[in-house]
Structure 1
Amino acid sequence: MSKLDPILTRLDPEAGILIGGQWRRGSRSFDVDNPADKTILARVADGDKTQALAAVSAAVAAAAGWRDTSPRSRSEILYRTFEAMRRDADEFVALICAENGKSEADARAEVGYAAEFFRWFAEEAVRTGGQYGEAPAGGVRTVVTHRPVGVAALITPWNFPAAMATRKLAPALAAGCTVVLKPAAETPLTALAVARALEAAGLPDGVVNVVPTTDPAEVVTTWMESPQVRKVSFTGSTGVGRHLLRQASERIVNASMELGGNAPFVVAADADLEAAVDGAMIAKFRGGGQACTAANRIYVHDSRAFDFTAMLAARVRALRVGPGTDARSEIGPLISSRAVENVQGLVDDALSRGARIAAVAEIPDNLSGYFYAPTVLGDVAPDAAAVQNEIFAPVAPVVTWNDESELLDMVNGPEMGLAAYIYSRDLKWAMQIGERVDAGMVALNRGLVSDPSAPFGGLKQSGLGREGAREGLAEYQETQYLSIDWSPVERAVST
Structure 2
Amino acid sequence: MDKPADGLTTNLAKAERYLARFRGSVVPHVIAGAHTTGSGETFDNLLPVDNSHLCRVAAGTADDIDRAARAAQAAFAAWRRVPGDIRQDILHAIADRIESRAEEIALVESMDTGQPIRYMAKAAIRGAENFRFYGDRAPSARDGLSLPSDAHMNYTTREPIGPVGVITPWNTPFMLSTWKIAPALAAGCTVVHKPAEWSPLSAVLLTEIMHEVLTEAGLPPGVVNLVHGIGETAGRALTEHPLIKAIGFVGDSATGRHIMRQGAETLKRVHFELGGKNPVVVFDDADLDRALDATVFMIYSLNGERCTSSSRCLVQRSIHDAFAARLAERVQKIVVGHPLDPRTEVGPLIHPRHVDKVLSFPDSARAEGATVACGGGRPEGLGGNFVQPTLYTGAAQTMRIAREEIFGPVLTVLPFDDEADALRLANDVDYGLTAYIWTRNVGRAHHFAQSLDAGMIWVNSENVRHLPTPFGGMKASGIGRDGGDYSFDFYMETKNICVALDTHKIPRMGV
Indicate whether the TM-score tops 0.5.
Answer: yes
Give 1:195's aligned amino acid. Answer: T
Q: Note the C-alpha offset of 1:441.
A: 0.4
Selected match of 1:208 from 219, 224, 234: 224
Q: Note if contact 1:322-1:364 (Cα within 8 Å) is conserved in structure 2.
A: no
Q: Tell me the equivalent position of 2:92.
A: 79
- Structure 1 vs Structure 2: percent identity of aligned residues? 34
Q: Tell me the equivalent position of 2:4.
A: none
Change (3 A) 1:242 1:315: same
Q: Note the C-alpha offset of 1:369.
A: 0.8
Change (3 A) 1:175 1:217: same
Gap regions ≥5 residues in structure 1 = 490-495
The superposition leaves residues 361-413 of structure 1 with CA deviations (integer Å, 9 ceiling, x where unpaired) of 99653321111100222221221101101111111111111122121111111
Alignment of 1:351 with 2:349, yes or no, is no
Map residues 33-112 of structure 1 onto 2, 5 A cutoff.
33-112=46-125
So what's the TM-score if we normalise by structure 1?
A: 0.94
Q: Note if contact 2:379-2:386 (Cα within 8 Å) is conserved in structure 1.
A: no
Q: Tell me the equivalent position of 1:118.
A: 131
Q: Note if contact 1:442-1:449 (Cα within 8 Å) is conserved in structure 2.
A: no
Q: Note the C-alpha offset of 1:104.
A: 0.7
Q: Tell me the equivalent position of 1:493.
A: none
Between 255-264 and 103-112, report the one with greater CA deviation: 103-112
Q: Tell me the equivalent position of 2:268.
A: 253
Q: Note if contact 2:61-2:237 (Cα within 8 Å) is conserved in structure 1.
A: no
Alignment of 1:154 with 2:128, yes or no, is no
Change (3 A) 1:11 1:368: closer
Q: Note the C-alpha offset of 1:449.
A: 4.5
Q: Note the C-alpha offset of 1:5.
A: 3.9
Q: Note if contact 2:105-2:123 (Cα within 8 Å) is conserved in structure 1.
A: no
Q: Note if contact 2:377-2:387 (Cα within 8 Å) is conserved in structure 1.
A: no
Q: Note the C-alpha offset of 1:30.
A: 2.3
CA RMSD of aligned residues (A): 2.0
Between 444-453 and 226-235, report the one with greater CA deviation: 444-453
The superposition leaves residues 107-131 of structure 1 with CA deviations (integer Å, 9 ceiling, x where unpaired) of 1243333322111111111223212
Map residues 181-220 of structure 1 onto 2, 5 A cutoff.
181-202=193-214, 204=219, 205-213=221-229, 215-220=230-235
Q: Note if contact 2:155-2:498 (Cα within 8 Å) is conserved in structure 1.
A: yes
Q: Tell me the equivalent position of 1:132.
A: 146
Change (3 A) 1:363 1:225: closer
The superposition leaves residues 51-70 of structure 1 with CA deviations (integer Å, 9 ceiling, x where unpaired) of 11100110011001000001
Q: Tell me the equivalent position of 1:229.
A: 244
- Aligned with 1:111: secondary structure? helix
Selected match of 2:329 from 305, 314, 324: 314
Q: Tell me the equivalent position of 2:297.
A: 282
CA distance in 2, matches of 1:362, 1:387: 19
Map residues 425-464 of structure 1 onto 2, 5 A cutoff.
425-464=440-479
Q: Tell me the equivalent position of 2:438.
A: 423
Map residues 295-444 of structure 1 onto 2, 5 A cutoff.
295-360=310-375, 365-444=380-459
CA distance in 2, matches of 1:22, 1:159: 27
Q: Tell me the equivalent position of 2:183.
A: 171
Q: Note the C-alpha offset of 1:351.
A: 2.2
Give 2:204's aligned amino acid. Answer: L
Give 1:463's aligned amino acid. Answer: G
Gap regions ≥5 residues in structure 2 = 1-11, 505-511
- Aligned with 1:326: secondary structure? coil
Q: Tell me the equivalent position of 2:5.
A: none
Change (3 A) 1:445 1:361: farther
CA distance in 2, matches of 1:405, 1:364: 39
Alignment of 1:142 with 2:158, yes or no, is no
Give 2:144's aligned amino acid. Answer: G
Alignment of 1:4 with 2:20, yes or no, is no
So what's the TM-score if we normalise by structure 2?
A: 0.91
CA distance in 1, matches of 2:45, 2:348: 15
